[in-house]
Amino acid sequence: MSDATLAAQAAAVERAAVNWRGHCVNLRDLAQRNKRPQSEFDMAVAWLPDLQAAARTMREMADRT
């Protein structure tokens, strides 16, 4: 069991979403230059909406406590 507060957990998920978005942007650019497969970008970007939704949910929960 973690001692991290709900606010700290929310911040961590928010950071993860921001970092993943940046990763997706990098993959998109690399795929456009044929340096990475398009499928790698497609798989990565498919996770982004769920991660962003989790960040919003965590923030809402933290703000209510």
Res 3: pLDDT: 85
Condensed to tens digits (0 to 9), the pLDDT of residues 1-59 reads: 578 999 999 999 999 999 999 999 999 999 999 999 999 999 999 999 999 999 999 99
Res. 65 pLDDT band, cuts 50 70 90: confident
> How many residues belong to the chain?
65
User: pTM to 2 decimals?
Assistant: 0.88
Question: CA-to-CA distance for 45 and 49, rounded, in angstroms?
Answer: 8
Question: How crowded is residue 27: how many other Cβ atoms within 10 Å of its Cβ?
Answer: 20
Q: Say if CB 41 and CB 28 are below 8 A apart.
A: yes
